[in-house]
Amino acid sequence: KNPFGDPGSDIRFADRENPRLKMGVFGVRFRPDTHQLEALSGWSQYGQTFDEWGHHFTITNNSNGRHEVIAARYLRRNPELLLSTSIQDVSTADNNKVFPITRNPRFEILTDVGTLTSSCSITLPYLGGAFPAPFRRVGCMAEPAHNMVHCDNWSDAGATYSARRLQEGAEFLASTDAWFRPVNMYIGPDGALYLIDYYRNFIEHPEWMAAETYHSKSLYNGQDRGRIYRIIPNRQPSLPLPKNLRLGQSSDAELVQRLADPNIWWRRTAQRLLVERHHDVSQLLVQLFDGSQSPLGRVHALWTLDGLGKLDGSMLKKALDDPEPGVRENAIRLAEPRLQSDPELAEKLLKLTDDSDPKVRFQLLCTLGFLESAQAKAAEEKILAENSEDPWMQVTALSAPSARASGYFVWAASQFGDKRTKGHEGFFEQVCAVIGMRGRREEIRRLVATVASSRQAGSEWWCGASLNGLAHGVRAKGAPAISVLKANREQLLEMFESRPPAVRRASLQLLAVVGLPSSSSTAQALKRAEATARDRQAEASRRADAVGLLALANSSSQRGLFEQLIDPREPDELQIAALRAMSSGGASDAGHSILAKWREMSPQVRSEATRALLRWGSDGTRLLLDAVKNGDVQTWQLDPYKPRLFMDRDPKVREKARALFEESPAQRQKVLKDYQAALNMHGNPARGRDVFKRTCSKCHALDGVGTAVGPNLGTVRNHPSSALLLDILTPSRSIEQGYETYVVDLSSGEIVDGVMAAHTPATVTLRQEQGKEMVISRQDIQRMYVSNVSMMPNALEKEINVRQMADLLTFLKAVR
């Protein structure tokens, strides 16, 4: 039983059993008057908001704010789109820095001193109409752990947004009082910003507190206190306090006029009351739309008409010509359910293809995905061609029904084939992944034939990207798509042998999915591959690919060659390929051969050897654990794999792993005591940087070194050295939310793990060492669970001595 909450249940209305939504990680919206329930494409931790045009923003504890760019209804059109996320995080390392002014601050063990760690209650933008004009694009978020409110200037960035600090080196609001805990904000009817101060001594979740705090009597200090602050602008006429608010007693005409009020509180409240009353005020709303100088009044008039069921095509056609981009964008959205029954409205929509505003074009591209006409498809292609470097435009185009993917591929080859960019390369991968997920014979045949016949100079980049995407999609789809692709094996083998490296490696990926053809050409190709693998004058990458091809033959006759290549005199890339080749055989004998060479392996090769043994399931895992018990493998060398070992589905493996790896508290305390000496040494930051690069950079980034898999280290310079030492030597003591290790059992039998990078209704994305991301179709998941062990190694003292620890701590605190 979870002591901190329940696992949740289906979401439904209290007065009826249906409709129901499965409890999940995504947000939910509902209409109480029509009993509609709908899952969103994103999620939030505490707080969410909308801007004046209806864009949805969420927040997580360590972010400045996130934009839910593409709605779930568009993604549901194409379940074959393997999208890792629908959210744009506007946070940057610089934006995450905070500047508290608290006197005698206190922080619990998981609080990142100097960086956002408890962001909540996003208010974006300020819509009260009473603050100075620059605040109309300012987003605020409460930060209770640091006793402050942080604000950013938000600006348009294509289909989404970017943010930068409102004030350099200072916060919008900060307190010297360590009990000041801002947790929520609202705009009032007077235009003031109302701030709720929880006013408590401790605010952290119980599972992240130090034990002495959790068991102390002071845990509930402040539960009888709390404040509400009213924030108003300086040097302006004072805002009168709201009195005798009786908006519910206003007439319909008065409420309609309130729809154009500068203050969002009046606009939203008036709209809600009008829809709840359900009186026929359509004439008044049409008059407001036609006569109002306020774009916000016009957009509220449209949505109120829609809420009353009175919005018609003639109004929408006028709105599509509105001078305000936000009104045009909303008119497109409102037109969606009417397009099939109103051809003139659909035709009017197409005239916005060249709209000057990127968000209008983005919304148009979203909406055109519901239309099947040739004109609509031409408009989609034009918008995509002119905005091809915007990844959200790509996602939106591909969210259209998946049958369009094959046409998009042909179109992209003609449009982008001679223009290599990062965006174009990404589009080829994504569109071909959709084709692979569809698994249609003719579409796959046409794709492979197009790549096979494209041999002009400069075509290898998009040919390789296309095959990589196809491999991703086919692998995610599984047996139906694999069966279809088998007809193309001869072409793939020919491309492996004759094409440049990008196409060769992508062809190998596909052959690994579907297998080698049974033909004389395969036998000849394998002979040539063996010669290449043995040739020390050949490029390491070509030799590694040759080994990869030999592995697909699954022949025991090559075992000797693979063992030969696991040699410290050979390049790491080649040794890793040989280990992967060996892992396709049985564990009983090959595992012993791998372990016999363990001490000769570099760290990178040793990591692959570990993965090879684990891929063999319980047999390989037991061999590995036996080697640990016998002293042939050091426990610290397997630290990154402890989450998987401790959660293995075989209870005997779990028991054995825990017996070998778990140490007593006394042992860990001795390590901590031994390393206290590092705190009193004068460290060298240059040497510390080298230590960081060697031991930490696979999962952390700092000062231009490494990959950000684990928590942001940009502001750890503010942590006491003693706290840093504790975190380094006891990483599983507390695992920061958002960086837990997820272990996933795949239907193929493979077990993978990593930090949850993103998730959508169709996929889960795990981020692993060195920033590698694995996108997993939810259909391929048998079981997924969180480990209570950190991915960070638990025995870094085996790799970092006391002197090196002093250098590392100095480096961590010196970086600016």
For every residue of 202-228, DSSP letters joined together read --S-GGGS-HHHHTSGGGGTTTT--EE
* pLDDT tens digit sequence for 277-319: 999 999 999 999 999 999 999 999 999 999 999 999 999 999 9
**Distance between alpha carbon 352 and the CA centroid of its chain, in Å?**
31
pLDDT at 2 over 60: no
b/e 330-348 (16+ beta carbons within 10 angstroms → b): bbbbbbbeebeebeebbeb
The average pLDDT across 366-371 equals: 96
The average pLDDT across 356-378 equals: 96
* pLDDT tens digit sequence for 646-660: 778 888 888 888 888
The average pLDDT across 100-112 equals: 65
- What pLDDT does residue 672 have? 87
**3-state secondary structure (DSSP) of residue 116:** coil
Every domain of the chain and the residues it spans: 1-39, 41-205+212-231, 279-366, 401-532, 592-663, 668-814
Q: Specify whether the CB–CB gap between 548 and 573 falls below 8 A.
A: no
b/e 188-221 (16+ beta carbons within 10 angstroms → b): bbbbbbebbbbbbbbbbeeebbeeebeeeeeeee
**3-state secondary structure (DSSP) of residue 25:** coil
- What pLDDT does residue 723 have? 75
The average pLDDT across 727-749 equals: 72
222 φψ region: left (φ > 0), alpha (ψ -120 to 50), beta (else): left
* Tokens at 572, concatenated: 């790491």
pLDDT at 641 over 90: no
Give the containing element (helix H, strand E) for 58.
strand 56-58
The average pLDDT across 713-740 equals: 70
pLDDT at 109 over 50: no
1.10.3470, 3.30.200, 3.30.2290, 1.25.10: which CATH number matches 401-532?
1.25.10
Distance CA 392, CA 618 (A): 43
Distance CA 426, CA 430 (A): 6
Query: Does the model's pTM come out above 0.85?
Result: no
Structure letter (DSSP) for residue 740: P
According to CATH, the topology of domain 668-814 is SH3 type barrels. (2.30.30)
Structure letter (DSSP) for residue 64: S
Q: Specify whether the CB–CB gap between 339 and 345 falls below 8 A.
A: yes
**3-state secondary structure (DSSP) of residue 325:** helix
Distance CA 102, CA 720 (A): 16
The string of DSSP letters for 231-280 reads E--SSSPPPPPP-S--GGGS-HHHHHHHTT-SSHHHHHHHHHHHHHHT--
At 189, is the pLDDT very low, low, confident or very high (cuts 50, 70, 90)?
A: very high
Nearest to 165 by CA among 155, 156, 157, 175: 155
702 φψ region: left (φ > 0), alpha (ψ -120 to 50), beta (else): beta
* pLDDT tens digit sequence for 190-220: 999 999 999 998 886 665 565 666 677 777 8
Residue 361: phi and psi, rounded to 5, are -65, -40
Q: Specify whether the CB–CB gap between 601 and 632 falls below 8 A.
A: no
* pLDDT tens digit sequence for 424-455: 999 999 999 999 999 999 999 999 999 999 99
More confident residue, 702 or 567: 567
- What pLDDT does residue 210 have? 59
At 103, is the pLDDT very low, low, confident or very high (cuts 50, 70, 90)?
A: confident
Average pLDDT, the chain: 88
Number of separate helices (H) and strands (E) present in the chain: 32, 23
The string of DSSP letters for 397-439 reads HHTS-GGGHHHHHHHHHHHHTT---HHHHHHHHHHHHHHHHHT
Distance CA 623, CA 516 (A): 31
* Tokens at 136, concatenated: 């109309």
| Amino acid at site 124 | L
- What pLDDT does residue 697 have? 82
pLDDT at 360 over 70: yes
Q: Specify whether the CB–CB gap between 765 and 752 falls below 8 A.
A: no
* Tokens at 164, concatenated: 């930068």
Nearest to 263 by CA among 162, 173, 182, 194: 194
Looking from the CA of 451 toward its CB, the CA atoms found within 13 Å total 35
- What pLDDT does residue 207 have? 54
Report in angstroms the alpha-carbon separations of 259 from 176, 202, 318, 333.
41, 42, 19, 19
Distance CA 123, CA 675 (A): 45
Q: Specify whether the CB–CB gap between 744 and 783 falls below 8 A.
A: yes
What pairing do the DSSP bridges indicate for beta strands 701-702 and 705-706? antiparallel
- How open is the CA angle 575-581-582, to the nearest 5 degrees? 90
* Tokens at 171, concatenated: 């916060």
Distance CA 150, CA 625 (A): 49
* pLDDT tens digit sequence for 221-260: 888 999 999 999 987 677 888 888 889 999 999 999 999 9
- How open is the CA angle 645-750-513, to the nearest 5 degrees? 155
- The fraction of the chain above a pLDDT of 90, given in percent, is 60
pLDDT at 365 over 80: yes
**3-state secondary structure (DSSP) of residue 553:** coil
Residue 746, Cβ density class (10 Å: 0-12 exposed, 13-18 middle, ≥19 buried): middle
Question: In which residue are the tokens 């989450």 written?
Answer: 643
- What pLDDT does residue 734 have? 56
Nearest to 493 by CA among 528, 447, 462: 528
Question: In which residue are the tokens 């396709």 written?
Answer: 584
The radius of gyration computed from the CA coordinates of the chain, to the nearest angstrom, equals 30
- How open is the CA angle 440-441-447, to the nearest 5 degrees? 90
The average pLDDT across 20-35 equals: 85
* pLDDT tens digit sequence for 380-395: 999 999 999 999 999 9
- What pLDDT does residue 389 have? 94
* pLDDT tens digit sequence for 500-546: 999 999 999 999 999 999 999 999 999 999 999 999 999 999 999 99
More confident residue, 779 or 553: 553
3-state helix, strand, coil in the chain (%, to 5): 50, 15, 40
Nearest to 791 by CA among 753, 744, 750: 753
* Tokens at 698, concatenated: 């696979």
Distance CA 23, CA 20 (A): 9
Instruction: Rounding to the nearest 10 degrees, give the CA dihedral for residues 164, 168, 169, 170.
Output: -90
- How open is the CA angle 91-93-99, to the nearest 5 degrees? 100
Q: Specify whether the CB–CB gap between 784 and 745 falls below 8 A.
A: yes
* pLDDT tens digit sequence for 658-706: 888 776 677 778 888 989 999 999 999 899 899 988 888 877 878 778 7
Distance CA 198, CA 522 (A): 71
Neighbours of 38 (CB within 10 A): 16
pLDDT at 789 over 80: no
**Distance between alpha carbon 629 and the CA centroid of its chain, in Å?**
39
**3-state secondary structure (DSSP) of residue 751:** strand
Report in angstroms the alpha-carbon separations of 273 from 3, 33, 250, 270, 307.
41, 12, 10, 5, 11
- What pLDDT does residue 3 have? 44
Q: Specify whether the CB–CB gap between 538 and 567 falls below 8 A.
A: no
DSSP-assigned beta bridge partners for residue 140: 123, 151
